[in-house]
A and B are shown apart, each in its own frame.
Chain A
Amino acid sequence: MTGLRWGEISFLARLAGKNLTRYRRRTAITTGAVALGVGIFIAMTSLLQGIRSESERNLARYVTGSAAIASRGYWDDRSRRSLDRLVGNTSALLEKLEKNAIAAAPRVSFRGELIVHYDPYPEEGSLFLDFCGIDPRKDPAVFHLDRTIRDGRFLRAGEPEILLGSWLADQLGAKPGFPVTVITRTRQGFHQLLDLEVAGIFDTPHPGLNRSTVYLPLDQVQEDLELGEAVTMIHIALDEALPGRGDPTQAAQLAGEHSPGEPLEVLTFHEMTREFSRAFDMQDSMLNAILLLLGLIAAVGITNTMVMAVLEREEEIAMMQALGMNHRELRLLFALEGSTIGAIGGLVGLVIGAGLSWYLVTWGIDYTPLLEDLKSDYPFSGVLQGVWSVPALAGTPLGAICLATTVALLPLGRMFSLPITDLLRGT
């Protein structure tokens, strides 16, 4: 038994190509369906990956940093915003981190009520919000908040002032210089009333922050809440190309050495963003479901085409068998027809997908007008920006080829079970 030779394979390849020209319309429709499926999938991957990476970037830039040091147990219990589990003796720890060239930003997160009054505000108002004390000098080493000031200015240490998010400020009608009152509790649980002034209005690409987080100078917060020099977390910036890639071991070591009586832990980026990741993993599985659906549609289309091709060519297939062509050669012929459909469809789909990706990368989809009503808590802005997803660009067309090739072989099995003589008699 000899294997297939090149001359024969190239003959079959030519025959396969010519066979596809028999029913141009049908071939075109099937190829078009494959192309559309491939193109849509590439574009969707581009968009979802773009959203994911923008979200991760925004979380790192405005909420988590590369990693953070917290008192053990604080993170798991953070929804209570209690001030029981704090990082104490921070100046010594910050000094150690600084000595080891690790950029660090201490922050205090707490809950409170923001109250504004008629004149200068257009209406009376009171809102429960997230408050965050930040060190105006150290914070910019880890976070980008200072770069997002839309009106007014960034915070100054020692000043009784506040930064409001753009959406919140617009809702309240707040402007720099306006007074606000904040009611919260001290570490011991006593009510505390703070009279502050709006220093500036920030506008980050993280809509949740713009809506419900308010920043104040750390030293003011520590004094008013009677925290001493304690903070809820120290966020650090590591040398990393993408969020979560940096190595936090040195920071962990330093945190471990820090006053051994106090149990500190280092929270990695991934630990702090687990919930978002879960949401995105769900999107990934949705994407996979869509892939499956698109694959199924393409498979049905190709199967249909190939079933018709086999049925219409029953007698011809029988003739080729009578000439001595074996099942392997006929399978190769149909596999080549299927894979050609897959390859052309995949290639056109690649072009469509690349075009859509290009649009998404360059322009994105602006849905800002919808955003404020949607109350999205996702950390990405109103412009959905795509990325170039090389795995999707390369993998999807290949997947289409494999699928088309496999599916093309299905109707042959039935044909091979019928006697050649019956097929030849078929007229």
Chain B
Amino acid sequence: MTPAMIEITDLHKSYHNGATPVQALRGITLSIRPSDFLALAGPSGSGKTTLLNIIGCIDQADRGELTLAGIPIPSRNARPESRRQAREITRQQVAVRRKKIGFIFQNFNLIPVLTAQENVAIALTLLNLSPEEVFHRSREILGEVGLEGLENRRPGELSGGQQQRVAVARALVKNPLIVVADEPTANLDSETGASILNLMREIHQRRGTTFVFSTHDPRVMDRASRLCLLRDGTLQEEQERVLL
């Protein structure tokens, strides 16, 4: 048994901004291994985004436990005793995001005024690296995602698929422990979506990066090494298969 990369135990999360509270997650327990290329599937509103946001440390669970590569990430029930402690928790979350997590978003979220290379570099400039290293590593990864020669284009001069490749490069360039991708193919046509997924799988196999992504596209689910089905905030079903 490989040690778990992410350990999730009885995670709960509800939203209170409407008239009636919405229970987005109702007790999720899941162990993600480094070798996982894991897809979260389920109908819209089943809690996929909420779970990914908590794993990605941009949201906090109400209760339950989350451990990321041995680092315990506090949930809201572990109420901070002071503002100082709360700030410390926020700071820790920011540090985890900065160093250990790569994000890929449904709508790419590139900065329109920056070139592809600069959009990738932004993730590295936060890591105390020399400008030369930032430059070389961001170029190298752009080559790896198949964008050699397009480094100086701005997002507006790239196709949707190319933009998402830049986003994949941005998520991977800092060698994160895990890449979190919320519906990475939803804004792409199926062919382009498939190629992005192939790219992610290639990188997963070549670099051993752990991927967790959500989708409701059956063809995307088919390509995952592990498939978790969510319904109404609970884990319904798990399938595993060997990646071909």
Which residues in B have their C-beta under 8 angstroms from that of A79? none
Closest to A15 in B: B114
Which residues in B have their C-beta under 8 angstroms from that of A5? 128
Q: Is residue B111 contacting chain A, with contact meaning CB distance below 8 A?
A: yes
User: Taking the nearest CB of chain A, how far is it from the CB of B136, in angstroms?
Assistant: 13
Contact of B98 among A14, A18, A319, A324 (CB under 8 A): A324
Which residues in B have their C-beta under 8 angstroms from that of A320? 122
User: For the complex, what is the distance from the CA of A18 to the CA of B155, rounded to whole Å?
Assistant: 14
Which residues in A have their C-beta under 8 angstroms from that of B123? 323-324
Q: Is residue A285 contacting chain B, with contact meaning CB distance below 8 A?
A: no
**DSSP class of A's interface residues: helix, strand, loop or mixed?**
helix
Q: Is the CB of B97 within 8 A of A324?
A: yes
Contact of A18 among B49, B97, B101, B113 (CB under 8 A): B113
Number of interface residues of B (CB under 8 A): 33
Contact of B125 among A11, A22, A315, A322 (CB under 8 A): A11
The 8 A CB mask of A404-427 against B (1 = contact, 0 = none) is: 000000000000000111001101
Q: Is the CB of A424 within 8 A of B111?
A: no
Contact of A11 among B105, B112, B122 (CB under 8 A): B122
Closest to A423 in B: B58
User: For the complex, what is the distance from the CA of A315 to the CA of B107, rounded to whole Å?
Assistant: 10
Q: Is the CB of B105 within 8 A of A319?
A: yes
Which residues in B have their C-beta under 8 angstroms from that of A325? 98, 126
Which residues in A have their C-beta under 8 angstroms from that of B129? 7
Q: Is the CB of B58 within 8 A of A322?
A: yes
User: Taking the nearest CB of chain A, how far is it from the CB of B179, in angstroms?
Assistant: 12
Q: Is the CB of A322 within 8 A of B97?
A: yes
Q: Is residue A321 contacting chain B, with contact meaning CB distance below 8 A?
A: yes
Q: Is residue A329 contacting chain B, with contact meaning CB distance below 8 A?
A: yes
User: Taking the nearest CB of chain A, how far is it from the CB of B45, in angstroms?
Assistant: 13
Contact of A316 among B98, B109, B126, B130 (CB under 8 A): B109
Contact of B59 among A22, A315, A419 (CB under 8 A): A419
B-to-A contact residues, CB < 8 Å: 49-50, 53, 56, 58-59, 91, 94-95, 97-99, 101, 103, 105, 107, 109, 111-114, 118, 121-123, 125-126, 128-131, 134, 170
Can you list 16 A-B contacts (CB < 8 A)?
A11-B121, A11-B122, A15-B113, A15-B118, A319-B105, A320-B122, A322-B103, A323-B122, A323-B126, A324-B95, A325-B98, A420-B58, A420-B59, A421-B49, A424-B58, A425-B49
Known: A7-B125, A7-B134, A421-B58. 9 other contacts (CB 8 A): A12-B125, A14-B118, A18-B113, A18-B114, A316-B109, A320-B122, A322-B56, A324-B94, A421-B59
Of all A-B residue pairs in the complex, the 9 with the closest CB atoms, nearest first, are A324-B98, A18-B113, A324-B97, A319-B109, A11-B125, A420-B58, A7-B131, A421-B59, A8-B125
